[in-house]
Amino acid sequence: MKKLLIILFLTISLAACGQMTIRPTIGQFTPSLVLDFSRGTFPIGPTFTRSSIATYFDQTGTMQTASANTPRIDYDPVTGDCKGLLIEESRTNMLIYSNTLTTWTSAGAVAGVSAITLPGTSLGYNRFSVSSAGQVWHRIENPNTSLSVTSGTTYAGFVIYETTGTSGRIRIVLRDGTSGSSNETLISGLVGSPVNSQTQSGTVTILSNVALSPTVRKVSFSYTPNFTGRLLLGLGADNATSGTTAVFLAAQLEQGAFPTSFIPTTNVTATRAADVCSMSNISSWYNQSEGTALVEFSEMTTTASRLISFSDGGSNNSINAGGRTAASFYIFNNITVGGTNTANVTTNSLSTPQSGKLATAWKAGDHASSLNGGTIQSSSNAAALPTVNKLNIGRNESGVTLNGYIRRLVYYPRRLPNAYLQSLTQ
């Protein structure tokens, strides 16, 4: 009965919380901080900076542009569900006119191959029809004459297109543009299911091919060229019947292992700055001796990342809850004191992007974590905890970034029992 009352009290306490709640310590199971990003607004309390615009989907599934220093609460364009606060690293779209395809050029100066602007927009993107002039390879190419790649370096990109073209197919060309070369790597095929059909200029991995609406799809890929020099990136209808069309909305190419949110460009490339979210002066709700953090999140990648990090403003004294140092090496809890790592709660078994709930608790000599109700991971290192005065959300002081979403963050000023860590994350 006593456990039932405690659980009932905990449930009522959390349900009554607003977007941000800071309360004095009441009991072991009462959180002193609740940040809820899943309600569609940015809570009062944290500060946010980003020195550029950035894009996101609103609750109607329409792409919007957030001004500099404005956080993005992102939505799934298909379901309308709120994903939470989007935190991404800085990236550059190497393509120019990424959503103005009428400025792209005809490959090989083929007469009749160009992008024609169509009426209206799709999900906030402009619409462009690209027709074949009678050859399957006919396409338009990005006009960036400075688009250059390095052999062995990984790039990531995506193309957003409609399923309404009369060709019923699409063609994405990655061509070696160095002098005298005609080597191409292709992504081509039926709308909804294009495949990597040729690998002469490098290797391609199709990362995803998802619907953004009943008539709009996004194919994402990684590309590792086998040459250094100019890259010619083209889009076409992949059809030998003259007049057949493919409808494209936008394209992106960036250096990195995974694609990020759309970065609109004009006649020059554009860089989206990193998202930075933090809280200072945390003494009103933080306990220096022990604590527990519950984070509801989702990752977009398995590269190095952090969910949250408590610090003193530098990297030598910190408590990191959630994140990665490598593709499968997941950090449940990592504590550094005076520049020395004093406690680690980790696993090597999580090789795919994770989502759900992580609860991690710390106290000198007593550290434990549970992900999605899973087995408790623990450490008994007896070293003292660092003194901290700042909370970083979605990154650490070194700039290692989540590249994903934070839905909720709850902090308890106590080291909660292991059974509760599991129950909180189920």
In this prediction, residue 256 has a pLDDT band, given cuts at 50, 70 and 90, of very high
pLDDT tens track for 216-232: 999 999 999 999 999 99
In this prediction, residue 292 has a pLDDT band, given cuts at 50, 70 and 90, of very high
Sequence ranges of the chain with CATH classification 2.60.120.200: 10-89+274-424
pLDDT score of 15: 39
In this prediction, residue 182 has a pLDDT band, given cuts at 50, 70 and 90, of confident
pLDDT tens track for 365-382: 899 999 899 899 888 877
Sequence ranges of the chain with CATH classification 2.60.120.260: 91-271
Query: Would you list the DSSP string of 54-119?
Result: EEEE-TTS-EEEEPTT---EEE-TTT--EEEEEE---EEE-SSSTT-GGGSEEGGG-TT--EEEEE
Give the three-class secondary structure for 46: coil
| Position 116 pLDDT exceeds 60 | yes
| CB 162 within 8 Å of CB 249 | yes
Average pLDDT over residues 240-247: 94
- CA atoms of 397 and 316, how far apart (whole Å): 9
pLDDT tens track for 262-277: 999 999 999 999 999 9
Q: How many CA atoms lie within 13 A of 287 on its CB side?
A: 23
Nearest to 282 by CA among 19, 32, 9: 32
In this prediction, residue 12 has a pLDDT band, given cuts at 50, 70 and 90, of very low
pLDDT score of 23: 55
* H-run or E-run covering 3: helix 2-15
pLDDT tens track for 303-319: 888 899 999 999 999 99
Q: Which two tokens stand for residue 99?
A: 């959503």
pLDDT score of 381: 79
Average pLDDT over residues 10-17: 40
Nearest to 155 by CA among 230, 242, 256, 67: 256
In this prediction, residue 384 has a pLDDT band, given cuts at 50, 70 and 90, of confident
Q: Please tell me the CATH superfamily of domain 91-271, with its number.
A: Galactose-binding domain-like (2.60.120.260)
pLDDT tens track for 27-43: 668 999 999 999 999 99
Angle 346-349-353 (CA atoms, 0-180°, nearest 5)? Answer: 95
- CA atoms of 366 and 380, how far apart (whole Å): 5
Nearest to 404 by CA among 303, 334, 331, 280: 303
Average pLDDT over residues 326-334: 72
**Radius of gyration for the alpha carbons in the chain, expressed in angstroms and rounded:** 24
pLDDT score of 383: 79
Class of domain 10-89+274-424: mainly beta
| CB 32 within 8 Å of CB 411 | yes
Buried b (16+ CB within 10 A) or exposed e, 285-314: bbbeebbbbbbbbebbbbbbbbbbbbbeee
Buried b (16+ CB within 10 A) or exposed e, 35-49: bbbbeeebbebbebe
Average pLDDT, the chain: 89
| CB 215 within 8 Å of CB 162 | yes
Give Cα separations from 420 to 182, 349, 360 (angstroms).
Answer: 61, 23, 11
pLDDT score of 34: 96
pLDDT score of 179: 74
Helix H segments across 150-289?
none
pLDDT score of 20: 57
pLDDT score of 410: 97
| Position 331 pLDDT exceeds 80 | no
Q: Which two tokens stand for residue 145?
A: 């004459």
pLDDT score of 109: 44
Nearest to 29 by CA among 282, 295, 292: 292
| Position 175 pLDDT exceeds 90 | yes
- CA atoms of 5 and 256, how far apart (whole Å): 50
Q: Which two tokens stand for residue 307?
A: 């969910």
Q: Are strands 105-106 and 139-141 parallel, antiparallel or unpaired?
A: antiparallel
Which one has a higher pLDDT value, 226 or 353?
A: 226
pLDDT score of 8: 37
pLDDT score of 10: 41
Q: Which two tokens stand for residue 410?
A: 């709850």
Nearest to 291 by CA among 208, 382, 216, 363: 363
pLDDT score of 4: 38
Nearest to 26 by CA among 1, 44, 6: 6
> Could you give phi then psi for residue 293, rounded to 5 degrees?
-120, 135
| Position 104 pLDDT exceeds 80 | yes
Task: Give percent above pLDDT 90 in the chain.
Answer: 75
List strand residue ranges (DSSP E) for 226-289, in order.
229-236, 245-255, 270-272, 276-280
Tokens 């434990």, residue?
368
Q: What is the pTM of this model?
A: 0.90
In this prediction, residue 350 has a pLDDT band, given cuts at 50, 70 and 90, of confident
